[in-house]
Amino acid sequence: MPGKIFYRERSKMVDGSKQPRYILVAVADINLKVYGHHLRMSELKHVAESVGAELIALPRGPKHQEEAEEEVEV
Per-residue pLDDT tens, the chain, 74 aa: give them.
689 999 998 877 666 677 788 999 999 999 989 898 889 999 999 999 999 999 999 987 777 666 555 555 54
Domain ranges, residue 57: 3-73
Q: Are 53 and 2 a contacting pair, CB within 8 Å? A: yes
Domain count, the chain: 1
Q: Are 49 and 56 a contacting pair, CB within 8 Å? A: no
Entry pTM: 0.73
